[in-house]
Chains A and B, each alone.
Chain A
């Protein structure tokens, strides 16, 4: 859209005052939201650098008298049992999330492309069926999936998680990607076809590179979903060395009910990968939502 030169509105002082009122209202509201959002996270960080004794005081120390990184050292030290467990859970989470992400992209890309480009019988029905998957809670599938995984021998393996997480991310992934493909002019592919490319080549060489931001957004979404998932991990895994972080942290808490600095440090470390990933790539993500989910 070309910017149209601003026509100067009739500069009446009263109207400007009212507009300023809205602006200040908005700013005050944003400050309130910032406090609501950030204070709990700041308190998590402050608690995580306290000693166990300093955390258990009333009134609390707003800033620890003697800040210490002991909790972080304990979690990251492979020499003691806590650190060994934590690092193992971290690795498990990383493995499951990465595998889920790769598979999600492999499955979602062709499906989204098909939904965007082809008309075939049942296409709309299929599309809504995919969307409806968002509607159903994990619990509905839990018992039968547990039986299914038991039957094919996947209980207590990461395979059971990867397979189920795949279906979480798929509906939204397909939806987001479809929005991207809708925006890529068909003429580009047609031109490639005229130049002698097969449909598959046109897809790989023309469409895939253009939809890279959508694929990145999809990958982030799948990764974050898998990294944070709890119910299936809690139900399907019982062996200590298989657990992913959310379940592992719960186990940590049930064994150390008063070690709040340790728990806050663990919560922080668990949040770092997804938050960093999101902050680095959020532009793609917001754009994908803008273009995929909400269109003119």
Chain B
């Protein structure tokens, strides 16, 4: 990403002194007007809720969310979380879910982008079909797959039984051992197109001359990929993987609709668990403390994200 710093009008250079900043801000008051609507919306809907969540996490708020009756309890909500066995179960689920989905979705998306990169008949159509799962609603996707996994009439079970691989249809999403992998398959189905689009976009930035030069120099397809294509895609890969990881970390709909976190917490991830605590069991304080922890984890991920993006910009040799 390049940032052009072409200004619509030349301005005098300012002396770097204390009053300079204020004067500069005043000078740029018109520029801020362009950004103000976006900033205002962000402040109301983002900054305020973040502050509020942090505050609620130190209080015990009675069910029904009666804010007048909230009692300050310090760090009790946090200690309650860390001492609960469910916390560790949910955390390990979240790790498996996030790492598994992100890695496989990225590999499948990247491979699809590479395979689609050469021209053939029907390429545009195929590309469009592969992107559809990403476009349709996650709620619809959840119900489609719920039906596919159905333990009595599900099509996968029927195929397995028909091929003699199983005596009766397996309980994909009703058994503790298979529920998480089954949901990850659905999640990858929804997400690999995003990785594919990003990597297709990245592939278009690889200079043809370089690839041709490598070809002339006798590099085979694998060497061309490894020494020319891949280095060019390092930044895009980093950003894509981070965005996927964050999206997976924040998933809610698929586990919530398909299993509601069950059976016996086997498919609860952080987000569904927080939702359950807040709106299911009305434990606002604990849910807020969870959110704050989540927030801290995401902030550290965000730090890497920004670093990856800045890396992009530094490579362009611009600010």
Q: Give the interface of A toward B (CB within 8 A).
A: 1, 4, 6-7, 9, 15, 18-19, 22-23, 26-27, 29-30, 33-34, 36-38, 40-41, 43-44, 47, 55-60, 106-108, 110-111, 113-121, 124, 126, 128-148, 163-164, 166-167, 170, 174, 179, 182, 186, 189-190, 193, 199, 202, 224, 227-228, 230-231, 235, 245-246, 249-250, 253, 260, 263-264, 267-268, 270-271, 274-275, 278-279, 282, 286, 289-290, 293-296
Check: B75 CB closer than 8 A to any chain A CB.
no
Contact of B42 among A7, A19, A120, A133 (CB under 8 A): A133
Check: B88 CB closer than 8 A to any chain A CB.
no
Contact of B246 among A111, A116, A135, A199 (CB under 8 A): A135
Contact of A134 among B49, B118, B246 (CB under 8 A): B246
Contact B298 A135 (CB under 8 A): yes
Q: How far is the CB of B53 from chain A (nearest CB, A)?
A: 6
Contact B49 A141 (CB under 8 A): yes
Residue-wise, chain B 1-19 has the 8 Å CB interface mask toward A (1 for contact) of 1111111110000000000
Residue-wise, chain B 46-61 has the 8 Å CB interface mask toward A (1 for contact) of 1011101100100000
Task: List the A side residues contacting B236 at CB < 8 Å.
Answer: 294
Q: How far is the CB of B293 from chain A (nearest CB, A)?
A: 10
Q: How far is the CB of B8 from chain A (nearest CB, A)?
A: 5
Complex-state Cα separation, A293 to B233, whole angstroms: 13
Stretch at the interface among B79-87, B124-132, B172-180: B124-132
Contact A186 B302 (CB under 8 A): no
Contact B252 A139 (CB under 8 A): yes
Contact A126 B129 (CB under 8 A): no
Residue-wise, chain B 129-140 has the 8 Å CB interface mask toward A (1 for contact) of 111110111111
Complex-state Cα separation, A120 to B200, whole angstroms: 34
Given A116-B3, A144-B53, A202-B8, 10 additional A-B pairs, CB 8 A: A33-B192, A56-B152, A114-B35, A118-B8, A120-B24, A121-B25, A121-B28, A224-B135, A290-B205, A296-B205
Complex-state Cα separation, A117 to B9, whole angstroms: 11
Contact A38 B284 (CB under 8 A): no
Q: Closest B residue to A138 by CB, please name it.
A: B252
Check: B221 CB closer than 8 A to any chain A CB.
yes
If A126-B39, A260-B147 touch, does A136 touch B221 (CB 8 Å cutoff)? no
Task: List the A side residues contacting B301 at CB < 8 Å.
Answer: 135
If A43-B155, A130-B38, A139-B291 touch, does A246 touch B302 (CB 8 Å cutoff)? no
Check: B253 CB closer than 8 A to any chain A CB.
yes
Complex-state Cα separation, A237 to B68, whole angstroms: 24
Complex-state Cα separation, A182 to B2, whole angstroms: 7
Contact of A136 among B115, B200, B250 (CB under 8 A): B250
Contact of A59 among B3, B25, B161, B209 (CB under 8 A): B161
Contact A145 B116 (CB under 8 A): no
Complex-state Cα separation, A147 to B45, whole angstroms: 12
Complex-state Cα separation, A126 to B294, whole angstroms: 22
Interface centre among A120, A163, A199 (most CB of B within 10 A): A120
Contact A107 B250 (CB under 8 A): no
Q: Would you list the 9 A-B pairs with minimal beta carbon distance, nearest first?
A: A137-B250, A186-B6, A114-B34, A144-B49, A144-B52, A26-B115, A228-B137, A111-B38, A120-B28
If A134-B246, A144-B48 touch, does A231 touch B135 (CB 8 Å cutoff)? no
Q: Closest B residue to A168 by CB, please name it.
A: B45
Interface centre among B48, B50, B155 (most CB of A within 10 A): B155
Task: List the A side residues contacting B152 at CB < 8 Å.
Answer: 56, 58
Task: List the B side residues contacting A142 at CB < 8 Å.
Answer: 275, 278-279
Query: 11 A-B residue contacts at CB 8 Å?
Result: A118-B8, A135-B298, A140-B294, A144-B48, A144-B49, A146-B65, A189-B8, A224-B135, A264-B144, A267-B144, A294-B202
Contact B130 A117 (CB under 8 A): no
Complex-state Cα separation, A185 to B7, whole angstroms: 11
Task: List the B side residues contacting A26 at CB < 8 Å.
Answer: 114-115, 118
If A140-B294, A167-B46, A231-B253 touch, does A286 touch B200 (CB 8 Å cutoff)? yes
Contact A278 B135 (CB under 8 A): yes
Task: List the A side residues contacting B164 at CB < 8 Å.
Answer: none
If A33-B130, A182-B3, A282-B128 touch, does A7 touch B198 (CB 8 Å cutoff)? no
Check: B78 CB closer than 8 A to any chain A CB.
no
Q: How far is the CB of B170 from chain A (nearest CB, A)?
A: 13
Task: List the A side residues contacting B1 at CB < 8 Å.
Answer: 179, 182, 293, 295
Task: List the B side residues contacting A279 at CB < 8 Å.
Answer: 128
Task: List the A side residues contacting B5 at CB < 8 Å.
Answer: 119
Contact B208 A1 (CB under 8 A): yes
Complex-state Cα separation, A250 to B25, whole angstroms: 50
Check: B227 CB closer than 8 A to any chain A CB.
no
Q: Closest B residue to A185 by CB, please name it.
A: B6
Complex-state Cα separation, A229 to B66, whole angstroms: 28
Interface centre among A26, A56, A126 (most CB of B within 10 A): A26
Complex-state Cα separation, A199 to B212, whole angstroms: 45
Contact A113 B144 (CB under 8 A): no
Contact of B306 among A128, A202, A245 (CB under 8 A): A128
Q: How far is the CB of B198 from chain A (nearest CB, A)?
A: 7
If A121-B24, A249-B143 touch, does A135 touch B305 (CB 8 Å cutoff)? yes
